[in-house]
Amino acid sequence: MARLDVTEHCHNIAFPGHLHTQESLGFAQNFRFQDSDTVIVTYPKSGTTWMQEILTLIHSKGDPTLSQNIPNWSRAPWLEQFYSPEVLGASQSPRIITTHLPYHMLASALKGSKAKIIYVARNPKDVVVSFYYFHKMANFLPDPSSFEEFLDNFLEGTVHYGSWFDHVKGWTSHSNDLNFLYIAYEEMWKDLKGSLERLSSFLQFPLQPDELTNTQRHCSFNSMKENKMVNYTLIPEEIMDHRKGQFMRKGKIGDWKNIFTKQQNSRFEDFFDEEMLNTDLTFIWE
């Protein structure tokens, strides 16, 4: 499935045709979740792969065998991507499922479900920067041209996968209707051990101290950067051009300061303040 120049549209949101079809997007929206499922929900570049690694390791009690031998998209498949019916059909519960879809596209499938939803959010200035660099290396995403233009598209919500603002507001405003845990990328970064404890308790997968230490070690940025099952070096050059960048790029908080101009920052902040006016979400920016 190459389709590198194909874009699929669904609910007015663009999705890369390399990974999505109308059928796969329909499959996701009609999916029958099991109560034993754990669903990682993220806007792209918010720490999806990190959470896939963490949950795999928690389920394996810190043993890295699975996370070092099976690619992340096989052990925590994206519900809306074309291969998911096959992968999910073959997987046993408890399943780890990933999605980038906005709440409204999964609302009906999740109605009444007790599946555990883990929403990972990241400060959107770092998201837009990470997404920009990802567009440069991922040949299934449009050429981002300048950062200025990409930032405009991000704020307008016309980038692939839609608006960050709609995504985070849509999911968090329905947290009470779901079995829901909200966690920030920055919280994991600043206190990984505490975050792992919070996650294992939500998942009802208690970890012994040595299991916790092993989990922590194997999901560190440096371990994941070396693990070809998560660093995307398994993906051929014509799909992800590794000469143009690395998937495991920097993994830092506040990298936006290296690219945002003063004007871009004030434009971003005005837009953010207006969009997020009625939420009580707070973000760590640096």
Residues that bind ligand A3P (CB under 6 A): 42, 44-50, 126, 130, 133, 189, 219-221, 224, 248-251, 255
Closest approach of ligand A3P to the CB of residue 135, in Å = 11
Provide, rounded to whole angstroms, the least separation between the CB of residue 50 and ligand A3P: 4
Q: Which of 18, 20, 59, 100 is catalytic?
A: 100
Q: Output the CA angle 60-62-64, nearest 5 degrees.
A: 80
Q: Which is nearer to ligand A3P, 84 or 123 (CB)?
A: 123
Give the H or E element holding residue 20.
none
100 is catalytic: yes
Q: Are strands 7-10 and 96-99 parallel, antiparallel or unpaired?
A: unpaired
**Which residue has its beta carbon closest to ligand A3P?**
251
DSSP state string for 24-62:
HHHHHHT----TT-EEEEE-TTSSHHHHHHHHHHHHTTT
**Cβ partners under 8 Å of residue 241, min gap 6:** 137, 138, 139
Nearer CB in complex with ligand A3P: 37/126: 126
When the beta carbons of 76 and 87 are compared against ligand A3P, the nearer one is 76
Cβ of residue 44: shortest distance to ligand A3P, in angstroms? 5
Nearer to ligand A3P, 202 or 221 (CB): 221
| Shortest distance, position 177 Cβ to ligand A3P, whole Å | 24
DSSP string, 194-233: HHHHHHHHHHT----HHHHHHHHHHTSHHHHHH-TTTSST
Contact 172, 103 (CB under 8 A): no
Q: How many CA atoms lie within 13 A of 254 on its CB side?
A: 5
> Hey, what's the torsion of the CAs at 97, 142, 132, 151, to 10 degrees?
-110
* Smallest gap from residue 31 Cβ to ligand A3P (A): 21
Output 129 or 203, the one with its CB closest to ligand A3P: 129
- The tokens for 199 are 């996650």
- Both tokens of residue 154? 């991000």
Residues forming the active site? 100
